[in-house]
Copies of this chain bind each other. A is one copy, B any other.
Amino acid sequence: MVSLKDIAEKCNVSVATVSKAMNDQSDIGKDTKEKIRRAAEELGYLPNSAARMLKTKHSNNIGVLFTDKTNSGLAHEYFSSVLENLKSQAELRGYDITFISQNIGNQKMSYLEHCKYRNYDGVVIASVDYYDPMVLELVTSTLPVVTIDHVFNGKTAILSDNVGAVEELVKYIYQQGHRKLAFIHGEDTSVTQKRLASFYKTCMELGIEVPENYVLSALYHDAKSTAMATRRLLELPDPPTCIMLPDDFSAIGGMNVIEEKGLRIPEDISVAGFDGILLSQVLRPKLTTIKQDSVLIGHEAARHLIDWIENPKTYLASQVLIPGKLLAGQTVKCL
**In the complex, A256→B107 CA distance in Å?**
52
Interface residue A236 (Cβ < 8 Å from any Cβ of B):
no
Chain B residues positioned under 8 Å from A81 (CB to CB): 74-75
Measured CB to CB, the nearest residue on chain B to A22 is B107
Q: Which of A8-16, A94-102, A320-328 forms contacts with chain B?
A: A94-102
Chain A interface: which size bin? 35 or more
State the copy count for this chain: 2
CB of A22 to closest CB in B, whole Å: 10
Chain B residues positioned under 8 Å from A48 (CB to CB): 54, 117, 119
Chain B residues positioned under 8 Å from A77 (CB to CB): 75, 77
Interface residues of A (CB under 8 A from B): 1, 46-51, 53-54, 59-61, 68, 73-75, 77, 80-81, 83-84, 87-88, 91-92, 94-99, 101-107, 109, 113, 116-119, 223, 249, 252-253, 256, 259-260, 278-279, 282-284
8 residue pairs A–B, Cβ–Cβ below 8 Å: A47-B117, A74-B74, A75-B80, A96-B118, A249-B279, A252-B282, A259-B284, A279-B279
Q: Given contacts A46-B113, A74-B83, could you give 6 more A-B pairs where the C-beta distance is less than 8 Å?
A: A50-B50, A74-B84, A77-B77, A95-B104, A97-B98, A259-B284
